[in-house]
Amino acid sequence: MLNRKNYKFWFCTGSQDLYGDECLEHVAQHAKIIVEKLNESGFLPYEVVWKPTLITSTLIRKTFNEANMDEECAGVITWMHTFSPAKSWIIGLQEYRKPLLHLHTQFNEEIPYDTIDMDFMNENQSAHGDREYGHIVSRMGIERKVVVGHWSDEVVQKRIGEWMRTAVGVIESSHIRVMRVADNMRNVAVTEGDKVEAQLKFGWEIDTYPVNEIAECVNSVSVADTMALVDEYYDTYDILLEGRDPKEFREHVAVQAQIELGFERFLEEKNYHAIVTHFGDLGSLKQLPGLAIQRLMQKGYGFGAEGDWKVAAMVRLMKIMTEGMKDAKGTSMLEDYTYNFVKGKEGILQAHMLEICPTIADGPISIKCQPLSMGDREDPARLVFTSKEGPGIAISLIDLGNRFRLIINDVKCKKNEKPMPKLPVATNFWEPQPDLYTGAEAWILAGGAHHTAFSYDLTAEQMGDWAAAMGIEAVYIDKDTTIRNFKRDLMLGDIFYK
Ligand code: MN
């Protein structure tokens, strides 16, 4: 479902003809070596492509416009090897519309003390040329990432790799299509929002279909297809009958298998990448989609419960940004449910009534079938598991009426202290940073929602850079957060993003 695209990033080196052809040959050679080594590093999720050295405003403009037009190009990496008078970059930068990275590096790692002369200085003057270039990008108010350090340094290579994922998030955001088969839950505020503004800012298309259109598609899935998927479930997951009749249990599971297949066909046919449902608006569906939605999320679809289209789009976005990541630990929708306030063991139990993505699971995954106190349908089958330990980020995108705000909280996921045998849902448990008390206070002051898009595999920096590229406010709740400073951040945001 994720349909990994073969994105590439262009490597554009700036220079000028003041120092002669031999110098320009060195510039090109150096850039080619850097590109080759970056591609060999193993830290970049996408390929870097070397482009001929840019020395005139005509060529710069042409190159940036070619980058705009090339569907495979997800961004341009710029580096001023020598001095490149920055007025030459103005028109090209004005017309450029994709993510921009300024790699502030130089070819040599160490100053060659014994041999350095003025020729060397003229040829290797990124410290000088990159400042001239940085000046014009700042003066033009263009959002870009600056990464500083020697290109052979793993830290630098990893930062370039992380930025590439952000850049793909920026490019892919405008391809996200969310299907709503139910409206937002009655009377709930935070799941609402301006869908037109979301399309203007993020490029998301958010459309509604009557729930019975997708229910008809579910009903048309054949018994044979449904039973084949049920067999797959039974091969993949532990079955926890908990006293239920095995045949009756299997029939409940089959309802979810039919929903998974019907939903997936409907989404594919209509080209949607995320979906929202609502337990109070299920039409002719026999169960609230639980296991079915969990499987769709695992395949890369975004999901938001109770009509929460902002979370659905964010989960989809974050799944695209982490796509193909080696050792990925998972991305899911989650919801703040219950606190543990015991000193030294503080945290928030994360769950939902059913729909947590199994990519975040740690250990075995089981199927349970239990009554749902919400809604009026038969007992839905769902996947039950606990989640991995380690750092992650919880994201909430809120609509403040005149603008969007992205709230980013670093969280530390922990094992549940004890098993919860009577809880029939998947869970995660985390301690928000800097601690539960400050983290929750800041989250509430910022207006953060109870639904979050969560990932182990992205950083606050990546999501903040994405927000900056979208032109919206991002606020960070992390190890450095104090309430006094956080309130000042919110006040500054109110002024700046008016
Ligand atoms: Mn909910």
Taking only the tens place, the pLDDT of each residue in 343-357 is 999 999 999 999 999
Least confident of 21-25, 193-197, 242-246, 277-281: 21-25
Task: Tell me whether the omega of the peptide bond preceding residue 434 falls within 30 degrees of 0, making it cis.
Answer: yes
Expressed in angstroms and rounded, the spacing between residue 337 Cα and the centre of ligand 1 is 9
Expressed in angstroms and rounded, the spacing between residue 211 Cα and the centre of ligand 1 is 19
Expressed in angstroms and rounded, the spacing between residue 288 Cα and the centre of ligand 1 is 13
Expressed in angstroms and rounded, the spacing between residue 205 Cα and the centre of ligand 1 is 22
In this structure, the number of other CB atoms found within 10 A of the CB of residue 346 comes to 16
Task: Report the C-alpha gap between 255 and 372 in whole angstroms.
Answer: 15
At residue 73, does pLDDT exceed 70? yes
* Amino acid type, 241: L
Expressed in angstroms and rounded, the spacing between residue 450 Cα and the centre of ligand 1 is 7
pLDDT category, 1, cuts 50, 70, 90? Answer: low
> Six-digit token pair at 296?
């769709």
Query: Strands across the sheet with 381-387, in order?
Result: 238-239, 361-369, 381-387
Expressed in angstroms and rounded, the spacing between residue 427 Cα and the centre of ligand 1 is 14
CB within 8 Å of 147: residues ≥ 6 apart:
101, 102, 103, 104, 156, 159, 160, 163
| pLDDT (mean) for 208-222 | 97
Expressed in angstroms and rounded, the spacing between residue 451 Cα and the centre of ligand 1 is 6
- Percent of the residues in the chain that have a pLDDT greater than 90, as a whole number: 93
DSSP 368: E
Determine contact, residues 237/250, Cβ cutoff 8 Å.
no
Task: Report the C-alpha gap between 13 and 27 in whole angstroms.
Answer: 8
Expressed in angstroms and rounded, the spacing between residue 201 Cα and the centre of ligand 1 is 25
Expressed in angstroms and rounded, the spacing between residue 376 Cα and the centre of ligand 1 is 16
| pLDDT (mean) for 66-88 | 95
Expressed in angstroms and rounded, the spacing between residue 243 Cα and the centre of ligand 1 is 28
Expressed in angstroms and rounded, the spacing between residue 379 Cα and the centre of ligand 1 is 18
Expressed in angstroms and rounded, the spacing between residue 425 Cα and the centre of ligand 1 is 13
pTM across the whole model: 0.96
Expressed in angstroms and rounded, the spacing between residue 271 Cα and the centre of ligand 1 is 25
Expressed in angstroms and rounded, the spacing between residue 456 Cα and the centre of ligand 1 is 21
pLDDT category, 377, cuts 50, 70, 90? Answer: confident
Expressed in angstroms and rounded, the spacing between residue 438 Cα and the centre of ligand 1 is 23
Expressed in angstroms and rounded, the spacing between residue 423 Cα and the centre of ligand 1 is 16
> Six-digit token pair at 273?
């990448």
Interhelix angle for 291-298 vs 246-270, to 10°?
Answer: 50
pLDDT category, 83, cuts 50, 70, 90? Answer: confident
User: Per-residue pLDDT tens for 455-497?
Assistant: 999 999 999 999 999 999 999 999 999 999 999 999 999 999 9
pLDDT category, 288, cuts 50, 70, 90? Answer: very high
Distance spanning both ends of the chain, measured CA to CA = 38
Determine contact, residues 221/261, Cβ cutoff 8 Å.
yes
Expressed in angstroms and rounded, the spacing between residue 100 Cα and the centre of ligand 1 is 37
At residue 4, does pLDDT exceed 80? no
363: left (phi over 0), alpha (psi -120 to 50) or beta: left
Question: Which of 175, 103, 107 is CA-nearest to residue 144?
Answer: 103
Sign for the CA dihedral angle at 256, 262, 266, 267 comes to positive
Expressed in angstroms and rounded, the spacing between residue 306 Cα and the centre of ligand 1 is 6
| pLDDT (mean) for 19-44 | 94
Sort strands 331-340 and 347-351 into parallel, antiparallel or unpaired: antiparallel
User: Per-residue pLDDT tens for 296-328?
Assistant: 999 999 999 999 999 999 999 999 999 999 999
Expressed in angstroms and rounded, the spacing between residue 361 Cα and the centre of ligand 1 is 19
Expressed in angstroms and rounded, the spacing between residue 164 Cα and the centre of ligand 1 is 32
Helix/strand/coil for 217: helix
Expressed in angstroms and rounded, the spacing between residue 444 Cα and the centre of ligand 1 is 17
Query: Strands across the sheet with 73-80, in order?
Result: 47-50, 8-14, 73-80, 100-104, 145-148
| pLDDT (mean) for 77-95 | 95
